[in-house]
A and B are shown apart, each in its own frame.
Chain A
Amino acid sequence: MSGLVGPALATATGLAGVGAVAGAFTLERVRPALVGVATAGVGVAGLTAGLAALGGGAPWSASLPDLLPLAGVHLTVDALSGLFMAVSGAVVAPVALYGIGYTGHGVSARGTQAVLPVFAATLLLVPAASSVSSFLLLWELMAVTSLLLVLAEHRSRAAVRDAGVWYAVMTHLGLVALLIALALFAARAGGETFPALRAGAGEVPPAVRSTVFVLAVAAFASKAGTVPLHAWLPRAHPQAPSHVSALMSAAMVNLGVYGVIRVGFDLLGGGPRWWWLVLLTAGAVSAVYGMLQAAMATDVKQLLAYSTSENMGLVLIGAGAAGMFAAAGEHPLAALALAAALLHVVNHAAFKALLFCAAGSVLRATGVRDLDALGGLRARMPVTAGLFAVGALGAVALPPGNGFVSEWLLLESLVHGLGVPGTASAVTLPLAVAAIALSAGLAAATFVKALGVGFFARPRGAEAASARESPPVMLAGMGLLAAGCVALALVPGTLAGGLSDAVAATGLTGPDGPSDPSGPAGSDAGWALSDGGVDIRLDRLATTLSPLWVAVALAVAILAVATATRLLTRHPRRVGAELWDCGGGAPSARMQYTATSFAEPLQRVFDDVLAPEQDVDVTPTRESAYLVERVRFQRRIPDRIEYRLYRPVLAALAGVGASARKLANGSVHRYLGYGFSGLVAVLLVLAVTR
């Protein structure tokens, strides 16, 4: 099977080139369609390559020494890379199809369309890189292309430029951290290809290993939107065109997780417990804080962006727990936790891509992202509403949604991790379970809000009242994603082999060698996804989840209840009725609950965490101070972490910048003097130290 990987990747790269050329040089009329088809081809090729790599066999690898001076480009696709490549491909293809219809707002401009296929290709190629220089090159290419795409609508909205600046600065600070980490690692390990790093990791002193891990995780976690390095994500994802948001939120953030797993587990070969405690804590904080912000958000795309932060937090909890278990020598359990994290990556990609596309569909039809001005869309855009509901069911982690399967697996791994001796697991794992549970509860409230306020009831504004359904090509793209969600929800067993191969590729199966952790019957400890459901067998327990069974049972029960009611009632036909109005006349659309009012009780409960800013402005009439002419009420819920953490840093930087101006007073002599004294200083240092 792995023979297919090379041709498929070559096809993907070729198609990306064709798409870029088509985007740059064709007429605006045909441009989106050509680029869309080419990008969809890139996605399909990536999916093929990924699946081929997951299908077993030796990892595919290639080396192109002439492509990059000095180091050359090295590519290797093992099962772990294959999994992430397949996820990226599976997201890119339907989203590209959707993008054909998602035009207007400056999205179909030459530059944007030319960059899109390149960005899609980098999403596939980053997991294939197998040397430090190729990885950094592709990583940076991905960052730059996504930045250009985020800026697509910069002419129409000032907020886009702001988001672009935040994204550019944070992603490049991340790159610097990553560059230092990997360069340090490569220097100590004596080689820059991944096999060399893997082989040399043992000789690297612990302090250096820890530095490498912390710096690399900071960079990767920032890409995955982990609190407190998340500030760019809720700005950039909502401001990008919706199909780009879908690609970023469903595929690009995954690569942050890929980086953590690749460097932490594979290249460094695991590490002390505190590494993983840090990762787990960061994940738990992101999960709760991200979802809390999402619950407060009224901008539907910002809500989805914060939910990405939450889901990546859950994945990092899984990865951190896996590391902890591995450090304690519990390898089957570690494999289970990592498999849960990877499964959640897949599930999140499916439902988040769908949700962003559906939100984009609404945005295109109404021009509004504010939930407070939406409503009543289920009558006007029934397909979009239905598809959003499918995605939301996945996101709330309730059966029979696809998110439930992976969160169940994650919770099971944590519950059984409590048996691992040691204070750290006994203290952190219950808290991690509580964090997952709180974020799941908040997710339920959030997505009830998004679906119920955004799509149900009556329109709250003229834009929502005049919305029309999106063109078929967008619906087709979303339909494919929804089909993926349903398949993942009902038959997660189809991923069994792929997941266990991917976990095995990280070297987590223990010192006994790469025994298959999901061996059908032979091994007594392990986990298995079968067509019927998920089985877990560890030495302390055995438990099963059968999502298909649950879905069928629910369907049967609904049918039974419906039939019984039909038989018992005497009136087969329903009649319309007025809404209850307390005798005060028909309730108007303005009397409905809005997203803000829906979230108000939660905001009050979490007042201490969210610290909302309230402003009441009462203007009395001129005649008397007791007669009120106007009351203005304003409330803002700023991202508190951003407020407390970033503002002081930015203010300090601005202060440094302002004081540095004194150095530049316009005198040419002074500037030349700086250069001269700098040169002398460097020479002096050299002379002294050497």
Chain B
Amino acid sequence: MSAVGTVAVLTQVTVVVAGAPLLTGLMRQVRARMEGRAGAGVGQPWRDLRKLLRKQPITPVGTGPAFRLAPLLLVATTLVVAALVPLASTATPVRDSADLLVVVTLLALGTVILALAGLDTGTAFGGMGASREMTVVALVEPTILLSVVALSIPAGSTNLPAIVAHGVHDPARLASPASLLAGVALAVVTLAETGRLPVDNPSTHLELTMIHEAMILEYAGGDLALIELGAQMRLTVLLGLLTSLFVPWGIATGTAAAALPLALALFAGKVALLGAGLAAAEVFWAKMRLFKVPELLAGSFLLALLAVGASFFLPGN
């Protein structure tokens, strides 16, 4: 297990790092085509990152260590999560530590440090973004944890590889109401966590509406490159987590080396498909008013609670 498992972890982290900008490029391209534009091409985010990395790094006046550390920590937490989530194989050396609660709290840690960096700039924009982001985080948390509970009941554990392996071996479970409701709830909070429509618009710079962009307004150059990469990796990892939990087919559960390339290809395909679908849906969505977002999150919370309830109401066989 150890050799193949280690290779699996390393390749899946590499695929996430290399593929995250491509996924964003693909989503922008799908959106552009559906809106009748030519689009900049799938490789554009990578070109943007290269451009940003070449610029002179700057430190805005009056910012401190939190501002400088935040981009590093954002990418670092996402890297650790990318290593923990069983995207390609469940038989990895880190599988004992791959707890679902650890994964979601590590992602929250990245958000928290970014909010601190936003406050650290001492501008109205930074504070505004941080305040809004933390409001969303506070409301998202109950949904996430209840979905985790709903998903862990059938598998009897919050250990991610165990949940995924359970899904692979018992596919009927995935179509149960509990799993479907939890899936919808998790999908909604994924949109909120990654700052997609209808909660936040990743391509806006309007004070009235922006959340994520307001926090990172002072970043430039290499720091901005890291933040962009971090955000793209978060999206990739979270979409990957959704596919691992709800369409786990193809994920290697054994130690056979041959299953790995297939699993990686399937992972890339599933995430690309999901991302393209999301981009296509976003064309038809409008951003919600900030104070309507709690309604959306209350709805997803209700779905998560129903998911937990459903595993009692409708226990199947």
**What residues make up the interface of A, taking CB atoms closer than 8 Å to B?**
295, 375-376, 378-379, 396-399, 404, 408, 411-412, 415-416, 418-419, 426, 430, 433-434, 436-438, 440-442, 444-445, 448-449, 451-453, 456-458, 533, 540-546, 549-550, 553-554, 557-558, 560-562, 565, 568-571, 573-580, 587, 589, 591-593, 597-602, 604-605
Chain B 76-106 residues near chain A, CB threshold 8 A: 76-77, 79-80, 83, 96-97, 99, 101-102, 105-106
Chain B 127-158 residues near chain A, CB threshold 8 A: 127-128, 130-132, 134-135, 137-142, 144-146, 148-149, 152-153, 156-158
Complex contact A593–B131 (CB within 8 A): yes
- Determine, out of B53-61, B238-246, B261-269, the stretch whose residues face the partner at the interface: B53-61
> B159 contacts which chain A residues (CB < 8 A)?
542-544
Complex contact A434–B146 (CB within 8 A): yes
Complex contact B64–A550 (CB within 8 A): no
CB distance from A620 to the nearest CB of B (A): 29
Given A452-B116, A565-B226, A579-B123, are A399 and B140 also a contact pair (CB < 8 Å)? Answer: no
Q: How far is the CA of A578 from the CA of B162 in the complex (A)?
A: 51
The 8 Å CB contact of B149, one of A430, A457, A571, is A430
Given A438-B141, A598-B130, A601-B131, are A575 and B56 also a contact pair (CB < 8 Å)? Answer: yes
The 8 Å CB contact of B59, one of A378, A399, A575, is A575
Given A434-B145, A591-B124, A593-B126, are A541 and B135 also a contact pair (CB < 8 Å)? Answer: no
Which chain B residue lies CB-closest to A291?
B138
Complex contact A457–B121 (CB within 8 A): yes
> A591 contacts which chain B residues (CB < 8 A)?
123-124
**What residues make up the interface of B, taking CB atoms closer than 8 Å to A?**
53-62, 64-66, 72-73, 75-77, 79-80, 83, 96-97, 99, 101-102, 105-106, 108-109, 112, 115-116, 118-128, 130-132, 134-135, 137-142, 144-146, 148-149, 152-153, 156-159, 162, 217-218, 220-222, 225-226, 290-291, 294, 301, 305, 308-309, 312
Most chain B CB within a 10 A radius of its CB, from A426, A449, A601: A601
Q: How far is the CA of A419 from the CA of B66 in the complex (A)?
A: 43
Given A576-B59, A591-B124, are A549 and B97 also a contact pair (CB < 8 Å)? Answer: yes
Q: How far is the CA of A376 from the CA of B135 in the complex (A)?
A: 23
Most chain B CB within a 10 A radius of its CB, from A408, A452, A554: A452
CB distance from A70 to the nearest CB of B (A): 53
Which chain B residue lies CB-closest to A460?
B122
Complex contact A436–B145 (CB within 8 A): yes
Which chain B residue lies CB-closest to A397?
B105
Complex contact A541–B156 (CB within 8 A): yes
Complex contact B124–A587 (CB within 8 A): yes
The 8 Å CB contact of A579, one of B106, B121, B132, is B121
Complex contact A448–B112 (CB within 8 A): yes
The 8 Å CB contact of A544, one of B77, B97, B148, B301, is B97
A-B contact pairs, 14 of them (CB 8 A): A376-B62, A398-B112, A408-B102, A411-B145, A430-B309, A441-B142, A444-B137, A557-B79, A569-B57, A570-B54, A576-B60, A587-B123, A592-B127, A598-B119
Complex contact A456–B120 (CB within 8 A): yes
Given A399-B105, A434-B305, A550-B97, are A597 and B139 also a contact pair (CB < 8 Å)? Answer: no
Complex contact B54–A569 (CB within 8 A): yes
Q: How far is the CA of A69 from the CA of B17 in the complex (A)?
A: 75
Complex contact B305–A558 (CB within 8 A): no
Given A399-B109, A412-B158, A587-B123, are A576 and B309 also a contact pair (CB < 8 Å)? Answer: no
The 8 Å CB contact of B119, one of A412, A433, A440, A453, is A453
Which chain A residue lies CB-closest to B223?
A565
> A397 contacts which chain B residues (CB < 8 A)?
105
Complex contact B135–A601 (CB within 8 A): yes
> A396 contacts which chain B residues (CB < 8 A)?
112
> B217 contacts which chain A residues (CB < 8 A)?
580
> B162 contacts which chain A residues (CB < 8 A)?
543
Complex contact B99–A545 (CB within 8 A): yes
Q: How far is the CA of A560 from the CA of B158 in the complex (A)?
A: 29
> B157 contacts which chain A residues (CB < 8 A)?
541-543
Which chain A residue lies CB-closest to B311?
A418
Q: How far is the CA of A561 from the CA of B69 in the complex (A)?
A: 11
Q: How far is the CA of A217 from the CA of B252 in the complex (A)?
A: 52
> B123 contacts which chain A residues (CB < 8 A)?
579-580, 587, 591-592
> B75 contacts which chain A residues (CB < 8 A)?
557, 561
Complex contact A430–B76 (CB within 8 A): no
CB distance from B65 to the nearest CB of A (A): 8
CB distance from A605 to the nearest CB of B (A): 5
Complex contact B122–A399 (CB within 8 A): no
Complex contact B105–A398 (CB within 8 A): yes
Complex contact A577–B149 (CB within 8 A): no
Which chain A residue lies CB-closest to B220?
A577
> B218 contacts which chain A residues (CB < 8 A)?
579-580
CB distance from B35 to the nearest CB of A (A): 29
> A408 contacts which chain B residues (CB < 8 A)?
99, 101-102
Which chain A residue lies CB-closest to B64?
A378
CB distance from A267 to the nearest CB of B (A): 34
Given A408-B101, A569-B222, are A574 and B57 also a contact pair (CB < 8 Å)? Answer: yes
Complex contact B109–A433 (CB within 8 A): no
> A456 contacts which chain B residues (CB < 8 A)?
64, 66, 116, 119-120, 122
Complex contact B130–A602 (CB within 8 A): no
The 8 Å CB contact of A578, one of B60, B141, B290, is B60
Q: How far is the CA of A570 from the CA of B51 in the complex (A)?
A: 11
Q: How far is the CA of A597 from the CA of B109 in the complex (A)?
A: 22
Q: How far is the CA of A558 from the CA of B72 in the complex (A)?
A: 6
Which chain A residue lies CB-closest to B78?
A557
The 5 A-B residue pairs whose C-beta atoms are closest, nearest first, are A593-B127, A452-B119, A441-B141, A457-B122, A441-B138
The 8 Å CB contact of B72, one of A445, A561, A587, is A561
Complex contact B121–A550 (CB within 8 A): no
Which chain B residue lies CB-closest to A416?
B156
Q: How far is the CA of A452 from the CA of B226 in the complex (A)?
A: 22
Given contacts A430-B309, A457-B127, A593-B127, 18 further A-B contacts (CB under 8 A): A378-B64, A398-B106, A412-B158, A434-B145, A448-B116, A452-B116, A456-B122, A541-B157, A543-B162, A544-B97, A549-B97, A558-B73, A573-B57, A579-B218, A580-B125, A593-B130, A601-B131, A601-B135
Most chain A CB within a 10 A radius of its CB, from B57, B125, B138, B290: B138
Given A550-B80, A554-B80, A598-B131, are A437 and B142 also a contact pair (CB < 8 Å)? Answer: yes
Which chain B residue lies CB-closest to A445?
B134
Complex contact B156–A540 (CB within 8 A): yes
Most chain B CB within a 10 A radius of its CB, from A411, A544, A573: A544
CB distance from B38 to the nearest CB of A (A): 30
Complex contact B61–A576 (CB within 8 A): yes
> B116 contacts which chain A residues (CB < 8 A)?
448, 451-452, 456
Complex contact B57–A593 (CB within 8 A): no
Complex contact B139–A605 (CB within 8 A): yes
Complex contact B120–A457 (CB within 8 A): yes
CB distance from B283 to the nearest CB of A (A): 28
The 8 Å CB contact of A574, one of B59, B62, B80, B312, is B59
Which chain B residue lies CB-closest to A593?
B127
CB distance from A238 to the nearest CB of B (A): 23
The 8 Å CB contact of A561, one of B57, B79, B96, B138, is B79
Complex contact B291–A411 (CB within 8 A): no
Which chain B residue lies CB-closest to A536?
B157
Most chain A CB within a 10 A radius of its CB, from B72, B128, B305: B72
Complex contact B135–A602 (CB within 8 A): yes
Most chain A CB within a 10 A radius of its CB, from B59, B122, B132, B291: B122
Complex contact B59–A601 (CB within 8 A): no
> A544 contacts which chain B residues (CB < 8 A)?
96-97, 99, 159
> A426 contacts which chain B residues (CB < 8 A)?
309, 312
Given A426-B312, A578-B60, are A452 and B115 also a contact pair (CB < 8 Å)? Answer: yes
Complex contact A571–B57 (CB within 8 A): yes
Q: How far is the CA of A592 from the CA of B125 in the complex (A)?
A: 8
Complex contact B139–A550 (CB within 8 A): no
> A553 contacts which chain B residues (CB < 8 A)?
80, 83
Complex contact B119–A441 (CB within 8 A): no
